[in-house]
């Protein structure tokens, strides 16, 4: 299966390895159970149905298992669906490994870390720099792997790091155009704003919310972390509270999860930078497969709108 799963056209046959990203049991209206499988590789994913499955199937074909599958691609209500003909779990004899089946950010982890480190290096305020560097170092392992979300945008391995790098570049461009912006605050805010997701989310594969994620949320988690790190570093100046405020307010409104609205110039801009990068990520991935003169699938996180690609664009 040389080419990635997202490049198959309706009608093509599939014969190769795929990773089970999630498996949900259903009950057909004839009373027999079936499995809805999300199967993926490094290019994306496809939905598949395994009809008339037995109890063994239900315990064999679960999330994170790599399978060998044959079947063909159908069109179902404008979305592709894989009709499974044959399926089996892989064994060591298949010589496949998880890493090859994960969708990743377009940049390598080291490259992204280096870019972020460079931005931290450019900070002039020592307190902001130390807190930011310390927190990034503390959570580096998870940070470099975690997606930015479980769905909607940047929901792939290293998605958060990629989101942060894009936002940093955007922050720099904005600060060039609006010189009153404090780049120290802006860069630190970008790096820390979603860092709590390393605790809120379960990890890079088959991502779910942790208990702490559900009860406290990544915003409160990171506000606490900033407080504790500042204490450890012996920093007790206003910068601590301002960084906490940047994280606290980056969703902008109470009903979107921020207990305080942005009250600092850079907090307001942090929210908008976050918004632009998330939306561009969703728009790009949605319109990628759309032909000029056609409308896209509906984008749930953008008010369920369906976007149009003009005929004079390609």
128: Cβ contacts below 8 Å, ≥ 6 apart: 184, 185, 188, 239, 243
Q: Using alpha carbons, select from 153, 128, 127 the residue that is nearest to residue 266.
A: 128
Stretch in the footprint of its own copies (CB under 8 A) among 62-70, 102-110, 137-145, 224-232: 224-232
35 scored as a contact of its own copies (CB under 8 A) = no
Interface residue with its own copies among 3, 13, 88, 260 (CB under 8 A) is: 260
220 scored as a contact of its own copies (CB under 8 A) = yes
- The Cα–Cα gap between 147 and 159 comes to 4
Placement of tokens 């390393």 in the chain: 198
300 scored as a contact of its own copies (CB under 8 A) = no
Q: Using alpha carbons, select from 80, 15, 67, 3 the residue that is nearest to residue 39.
A: 67
Q: Which is nearer to its own copies, 206 or 302 (CB)?
A: 302
Q: Which is nearer to its own copies, 103 or 166 (CB)?
A: 166
219 scored as a contact of its own copies (CB under 8 A) = yes
Interface residue with its own copies among 10, 13, 76, 122 (CB under 8 A) is: 76
Q: Shortest approach of its own copies to residue 212 CB, angstroms?
A: 6
Q: Which helix (H) or strand (E) holds 26?
A: strand 13-27
Question: Which 85-124 positions form the footprint of its own copies (CB under 8 A)?
Answer: none
Question: Which 121-140 positions form the footprint of its own copies (CB under 8 A)?
Answer: 125
How far, in Å, are 10, 56, 88, 99, 167 from residue 94 at the CA level?
Answer: 27, 21, 11, 14, 40
264 scored as a contact of its own copies (CB under 8 A) = yes
DSSP state of 53: -
Question: Which 148-177 positions form the footprint of its own copies (CB under 8 A)?
Answer: 166, 169-170, 173-174, 176-177
């Amino acid at each position: 299966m040389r080419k990635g799963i997202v490049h198959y056209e309706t009608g093509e046959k599939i014969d190769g390895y795929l990773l089970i990203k999630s498996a949900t049991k259903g009950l057909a209206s004839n009373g027999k159970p079936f499995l809805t499988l999300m199967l993926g590789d490094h290019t994306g994913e496809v939905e598949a149905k395994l009809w008339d499955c037995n109890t063994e199937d239900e315990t064999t074909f679960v999330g994170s298992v790599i399978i060998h599958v044959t079947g063909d691609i159908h069109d179902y209500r404008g979305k592709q669906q894989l009709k499974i003909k044959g399926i089996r779990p892989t064994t060591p004899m298949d010589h496949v490994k998880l890493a090859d089946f994960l969708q990743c950010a377009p940049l390598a982890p080291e490259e992204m870390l280096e870019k972020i480190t460079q931005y931290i290096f450019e900070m002039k305020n020592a307190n902001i720099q130390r807190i930011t560097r310390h927190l990034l170092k503390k959570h580096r392992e998870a940070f470099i792997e975690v997606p930015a979300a479980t769905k909607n945008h940047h929901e792939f391995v290293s998605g958060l790091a990629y989101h942060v790098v894009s936002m940093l570049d955007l922050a720099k461009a904005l600060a060039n155009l609006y010189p009153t912006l404090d780049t120290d605050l802006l860069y630190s805010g970008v790096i820390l704003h979603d860092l709590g997701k390393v605790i809120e989310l379960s990890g890079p594969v088959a991502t779910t919310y942790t208990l702490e994620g559900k009860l406290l949320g990544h915003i409160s988690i990171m506000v606490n972390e900033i407080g504790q790190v500042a204490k450890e570093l012996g920093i007790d100046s206003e910068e601590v509270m301002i960084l906490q405020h940047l994280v606290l307010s980056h969703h902008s409104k109470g009903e979107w999860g921020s207990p305080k609205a942005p009250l600092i110039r850079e907090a307001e801009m942090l929210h908008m930078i976050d918004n632009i990068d998330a939306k561009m990520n969703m728009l790009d991935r949605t319109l990628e497969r759309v032909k000029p003169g056609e409308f896209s699938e509906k984008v749930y996180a953008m008010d369920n709108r369906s976007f149009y690609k003009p005929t004079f664009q390609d």
